[in-house]
Every structure is written in C-alpha cells, then in structure tokens.
Amino acid sequence: MARTHPDEKILSYNDVVLRRSDLDILNGPYFLNDRIVEFYFSYLSSTCCSSEEVLLVSPSISFWISNCPMLEDVKDVVAPLRLQDRKLIIFPVNNNEDVTVAEGGSHWSLLSYYKTCNLFEHYDSFGSLNKRHAMKLCKGIKGLVGAPETMSNCRECNTPQQMNGYDCGLYMLAIAELLCSCHLQEPNDSGQCRFEALELLEVGQMRRRILKIIEDLMDQVEKESA
C-alpha cells in the first residue's frame, strides 16, 4: 500500500484546499484548524446557507480585521464581501495573539452581527475564555458594517459548554449552522428561534458528519474525473 503524506491534497472545494492531515484531525480528538473551519463555512455558504443576506467570514479575514491597525487597509480587503449589504454576518473568533504565527491559538468561539437590530452576539463554549478577543474583533467590525461607534459592544449568549479541551471548533461550526438556519426561518430576528435551538444543540456527531461530507465530495470528484 502506498504511503500517504500529511500535506497531500485530497480535495479542492471552492477556494479551500484540504489535505490528508485535515482528515487525521477529524478522525481524532484534535483541535480544528483554520482549513477545516474555512471548508465548512464554504460548504454551508454553498448549500443550506446560500442566501445573499448571510455571510460566513473565513478565519483569515476575521483575524485580519481583528489585528490590522489601519481601518482603511481592512476596508480594501473586505470590500468584495459587501458587509454592509448583509443582514447576518458570522465571524469565527480565535484567541491567537501572535500575528506572525499562521493558524495559531487554542480556542474557537463565534461572533455574529444582525444588521436589522444592530446587534452583536458572542457564543463561547468554554465560559468567557474568548470574550476579550471577541470584543477586539467587534471593535474592528463596527466601522466596516456601518454600526454606530457608540453602540454597546455585544451580548454574551448562554451557550452549550464543551466537555473537553478540543471540541470548541465543533461547537462553533454547529452554532454557525444553527444561526444560519434560524435566520432563514425567522428573518425578522426576534431571537426566539436561535435561543430555543441552542438548548437542543447536538455536537457529538459533528466530526463524523464533516468527515462524511468531505469523503462524499472526494468520491464525487473521483467519479467525475473517471
């Protein structure tokens, strides 16, 4: 049997390239990397969350917004995303504080922005570990989405809590999917849908589910190229 290399490309999906090592992460109890987060956001954007009202922002763009000191430079980068035209924007939050390290950090959480009610919400599956990082990202976002600088930063939401030190990314992805689904069901943003759904959030099968999606896409590519 031929040996495989961790950097072997296994799937190109939209603008995301997955490698063999990403499957290893999903097969084991490991912290999710940026590529898996970006892949699932891209998958959601192409399937159940394909509405032009909703935007799921990649980890690299979220990190850039949070850490770039010049607002004008950020505006140029995010202009194609049309942030001010969206009604719901979802940002991954990472606690990486070293701008020289790609894919750093040790915890994921989620920040959402609802334009209709000018509301930021933060969902953290490990208490308030990422609160400071979410506030930093929120501050950078305000000038990009047209939110008034005087508005309060954001609301910390009661979030189902992880039972270990590595599933934060799975919680973040599950909540992102839930928020998208609730927005499509309840575009007026009363909030009842998403809060009720959070209480029923199931994360246990997320690894297998994402892995199955990737494997099915790989099979599809193989059949199309045969």
Any idea which residues carry the catalytic annotation? 107, 124, 168
Structure tokens at 200: 């029923």
> What backbone phi and psi angles, to 5 degrees, belong to 78?
-95, -5
- Residue 165 CA neighbour count, 13 Å, CB half: 2
**Which among 93, 99, 105 is positioned nearest to 154, based on CA atoms?**
93
**Which among 40, 30, 132 is positioned nearest to 90, based on CA atoms?**
40
Alpha-carbon distance 209 to 16, whole Å? Answer: 18
Q: How far is CA 147 from CA 53, 74, 77, 176, 210, in A?
A: 17, 16, 18, 21, 34
